[in-house]
């Protein structure tokens, strides 16, 4: 339920930041914007650490599972995630430009300014962190599984816990301050209402597309195993969906997800394998939310994106969210580096992404774990065909 406490705080931060930019003296707004900018530097610094801390042990943990079924389930989860992102891109490009105003232009002297310019150099660039994470992840796999030495594996687990604690105790609590400062600056620039006017239709678009994608997933599953009817299967997954909205965590919802998946006409051993794996790597709902949000911010500040310039971002998104931290907004935190390095998002665009995504996070998690039910049916079908 943590995210439901965070969402009201973010709403209050948006309101207070907007009022500060409009009505309070410049020194108040500049102070808030200075604190927000320092936090933005800290956020940029921690992103490569998030990639290292969650991808390395994520790869190491996957290696504990049986090879062939792991390949099928992981491949299916990745394909589902990427297809969700591609569909979301085309839907967003079709709808968002008609709802959004023209590209927001800001005069050079408009907006707030910082009292100090504090720069925190990052330890490594995003692509360097990704490559490093995969090299070390594969290495840890080999050392742990072939040589039987878990010393390094335990070390990367401790590293992940440190980064997770930093996110929970520092990043998440101070996100409202970051958002307030950015919205104060937008209010001073006179661009805040154009952005806020998109929030409601954007949320409806994201949730609606997530539901449509779930129907598509269960339709594919039904074609492979006709005994699992589409809407009957969806009905059986409703307890998992509603629980995920409350917990905002695939891991915390896993017992209910397992129970719901086992009520489908699938072997228990397949559900016991696919559901825990999917909780780690299957993020189709989160990808829909991130993609639509990213297209929206891109339309507002840069222009309508081209598909082939956006596709590498979607393909990498399915990778960087492996083992995304089990904290509110973990997926968008893991994606922050890609947003800056591949889409050119600056501090303002990143803050908008966080503000937009956080409100949708419960429904993205619910879509992720409900889709695990469809994936369980598909993997059951493949296993059944192989046995025959």
CB 55 within 8 Å of CB 134: yes
DSSP state of 227: T
Please provide the average confidence, as pLDDT, over all residues in the chain: 85
Find how far residue 387's CA is from the centre of its chain: 36
From 254, 286, 270, select the one nearest 358 (Cα to Cα): 286
Name 163's Cβ contacts closer than 8 Å, sequence gap at least 6.
46, 49, 50, 53, 54, 325
What is the pTM (predicted TM-score) of this model? 0.86
User: What integer pLDDT is reported at residue 103 of this predicted model?
Assistant: 55
Query: How many C-beta atoms lie closer than 10 Å to residue 152's C-beta?
Result: 15
Name 226's Cβ contacts closer than 8 Å, sequence gap at least 6.
none
User: What integer pLDDT is reported at residue 388 of this predicted model?
Assistant: 45
pLDDT in tens, 88-119: 999 999 998 888 766 555 444 556 788 888 88
Label residue 67 exposed, middle or buried (CB < 10 Å: 0-12, 13-18, 19+). Answer: exposed
User: What integer pLDDT is reported at residue 328 of this predicted model?
Assistant: 61
From 87, 107, 127, 243, select the one nearest 185 (Cα to Cα): 107
Positions in the chain whose pLDDT score sits under 70: 1-5, 62-67, 101-111, 323-329, 384-388
3-state class of 344 per DSSP? coil
User: What integer pLDDT is reported at residue 65 of this predicted model?
Assistant: 54
User: What integer pLDDT is reported at residue 74 of this predicted model?
Assistant: 83
DSSP state of 167: I
CB 344 within 8 Å of CB 51: no
From 176, 233, 240, select the one nearest 374 (Cα to Cα): 233
**How far apart are the C-alpha atoms of 5 and 168, rounded to whole Å?**
13
Domains of the chain (ranges, CATH numbers): 2-387 (1.10.3860)
User: What integer pLDDT is reported at residue 108 of this predicted model?
Assistant: 47
């Amino acid at each position: 339920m943590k995210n439901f406490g965070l969402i009201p705080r973010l709403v209050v931060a948006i309101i207070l930041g907007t009022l500060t930019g409009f009505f309070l003296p410049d020194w108040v707004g500049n102070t808030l914007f200075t604190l927000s900018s320092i936090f933005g530097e800290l956020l940029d610094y921690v992103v490569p650490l998030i990639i290292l801390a969650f991808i390395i042990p994520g790869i190491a943990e996957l290696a504990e599972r049986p090879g062939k079924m792991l390949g099928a389930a992981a491949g299916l989860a990745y394909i589902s995630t990427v297809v969700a992102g591609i569909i979301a891109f085309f839907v967003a490009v079709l709808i968002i430009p008609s709802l959004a105003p023209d590209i927001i232009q800001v005069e050079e002297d408009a907006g707030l300014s910082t009292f100090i310019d504090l720069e925190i150099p990052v330890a490594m660039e995003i692509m360097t962190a990704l490559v490093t994470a995969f090299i070390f992840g594969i290495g840890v796999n080999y050392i742990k599984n072939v040589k039987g030495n878990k010393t390094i594996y335990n070390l990367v687990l401790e590293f992940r816990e440190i980064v997770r604690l930093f996110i929970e105790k520092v990043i998440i609590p101070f996100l409202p301050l970051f958002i307030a400062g950015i919205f104060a600056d937008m209010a001073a620039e006179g661009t805040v209402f154009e952005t806020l006017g998109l929030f409601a239709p954007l949320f409806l678009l994201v949730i609606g597309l997530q539901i449509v994608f779930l129907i598509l997933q269960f339709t594919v599953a039904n074609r492979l195993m006709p005994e699992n009817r589409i809407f009957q299967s969806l009905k059986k997954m409703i307890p998992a969906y509603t629980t995920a909205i409350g917990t905002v965590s695939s891991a915390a919802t896993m017992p209910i997800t397992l129970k719901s998946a086992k009520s489908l006409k699938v072997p228990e051993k397949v559900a016991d394998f696919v559901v825990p794996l999917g909780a780690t790597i299957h993020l189709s709902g989160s990808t829909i939310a991130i993609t639509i949000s990213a297209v929206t911010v891109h339309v507002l500040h840069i222009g309508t994106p081209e598909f082939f310039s956006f596709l590498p971002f979607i393909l990498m998104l399915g990778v960087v969210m492996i083992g995304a931290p089990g904290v509110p907004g973990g997926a968008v935190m893991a994606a922050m580096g890609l947003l800056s390095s591949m889409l050119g998002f600056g501090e303002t665009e990143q803050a908008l992404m966080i503000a937009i995504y956080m409100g949708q996070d419960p429904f993205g998690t619910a879509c992720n774990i409900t889709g695990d039910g469809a994936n369980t049916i598909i993997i059951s079908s493949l296993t059944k065909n192989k046995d025959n």
